[in-house]
């Protein structure tokens, strides 16, 4: 499933060159908007990739998606085995039930990066990331995501992003009415969470 990302600066009439093409390497820095769900500002550097994610609706936490674990088990079960480093020391399979949307995005992307690298023939793939937010300074719903994925992985990042966005669209649309209308707020206004994913070729998880 290919997902088209529309650049934030684009007009209502778009040319083919303005669409995200997963088979191509990302430019040095690009901004995209994904329907009415979130925007992404992506900067790939020599050894890292920085993604600024801005949610375009009220809710920022997976507590409003009660079937989040079932959705992941159906579409990407291995993401539940990614390592998670959070204040409560919870495994990601538990943390995912009440975590920030940006943190969920990070873990899904880490899993897809590992899958893409293994598919290229690598015997082992390992990526780490962290998600920061500070809504005392930034607009609510803005996340700063940093990954250990640099220019050497420029060929697999677009594909991993494409798959991550496609899955996020499924997850965020699953309970769209309460997700977009609820005024409840969860969690701190600032924080930091880390994730890591390592996979061996031919490993089941």
pLDDT digits (tens, 9 = 90+) for 104-150: 999 999 999 999 999 999 999 999 999 999 999 999 999 999 999 99
Q: What is the pLDDT of residue 26?
A: 56
User: What confidence category does residue 2 fall into, taking pLDDT thresholds of 50, 70 and 90?
Assistant: very low
Instruction: Give the Cα separation of 17 and 8 in Å (integer).
Output: 14
Higher pLDDT, 174 or 75: 75
Q: What are phi and psi of 190, to 5 degrees?
A: -150, 155
β-strand pairing of 124-134 with 83-85: unpaired
- Which range in 24-28, 150-154, 193-197 is most confidently predicted, on average pLDDT? 150-154
Higher pLDDT, 49 or 204: 49
User: What confidence category does residue 30 fall into, taking pLDDT thresholds of 50, 70 and 90?
Assistant: confident
Q: What is the pLDDT of residue 173?
A: 85
Q: What is the pLDDT of residue 199?
A: 61
Average pLDDT, the chain: 81
Instruction: Give the Cα separation of 67 and 69 in Å (integer).
Output: 6
CB 190 within 8 A of CB 133: yes
Q: How many residues does the chain have?
A: 205
CB 96 within 8 A of CB 58: no
Instruction: Give the Cα separation of 76 and 108 in Å (integer).
Output: 8
- pTM, 2 dp: 0.78
Sheet-wide strand order for 142-147: 29-34, 38-44, 49-55, 142-147, 124-134, 190-200, 83-85
Beta strand residue intervals within 112-170, DSSP E: 124-134, 142-147
- A 10 A CB-CB count for 177 gives 7
Kindly state the average pLDDT of the residues 30-58. 93
Judged by average pLDDT, the poorest of 18-22, 173-177, 185-189 is: 18-22
Strand partners, 131: 145, 193
Q: What is the CA radius of gyration of the chain?
A: 16
Q: What is the pLDDT of residue 59?
A: 86
Is a pLDDT exceeding 70 seen at residue 45? yes
Which pair of tokens denotes residue 158? Answer: 């677009």
Q: At what angle do helices 157-174 and 101-119 cross, to 10 degrees?
A: 140
Which residues 6+ apart lie within 8 Å of 35 measured at CB? 169
Kindly state the average pLDDT of the residues 74-96. 94
Q: What is the pLDDT of residue 179?
A: 38
Is a pLDDT exceeding 50 seen at residue 19? no
Residues of the chain above pLDDT 70, percent: 71
Q: What are phi and psi of 57, to 5 degrees?
A: -150, 180
Q: What is the pLDDT of residue 31?
A: 86
């Amino acid at each position: 499933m290919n997902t088209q990302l529309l650049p934030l600066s684009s007009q209502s009439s778009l040319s083919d060159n303005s669409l995200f093409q997963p088979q191509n390497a990302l430019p040095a820095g690009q901004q995209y908007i994904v329907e009415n769900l979130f925007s992404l500002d992506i900067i790939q550097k020599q050894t890292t990739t920085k993604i600024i994610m801005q949610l375009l609706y009220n809710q920022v936490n997976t507590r409003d998606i009660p079937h989040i674990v079932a959705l992941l088990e159906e579409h990407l079960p291995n993401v539940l085995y990614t390592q998670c480093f959070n204040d409560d020391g919870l495994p990601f399979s538990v943390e995912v039930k009440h975590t920030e949307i940006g943190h969920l995005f990070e873990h899904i992307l880490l899993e897809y990066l590992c899958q893409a690298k293994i598919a290229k023939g690598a015997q082992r793939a390992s990526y780490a990331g962290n998600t920061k937010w500070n809504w005392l300074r930034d607009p609510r719903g803005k996340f700063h995501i940093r990954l250990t994925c640099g220019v050497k992985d420029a060929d697999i990042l677009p594909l991993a992003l494409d798959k991550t966005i496609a899955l996020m669209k499924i997850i965020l649309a699953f309970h769209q009415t309460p997700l977009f209308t609820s005024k409840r707020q969860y969690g701190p206004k600032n924080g930091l969470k880390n994730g890591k994913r390592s996979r061996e070729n031919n490993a089941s998880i």
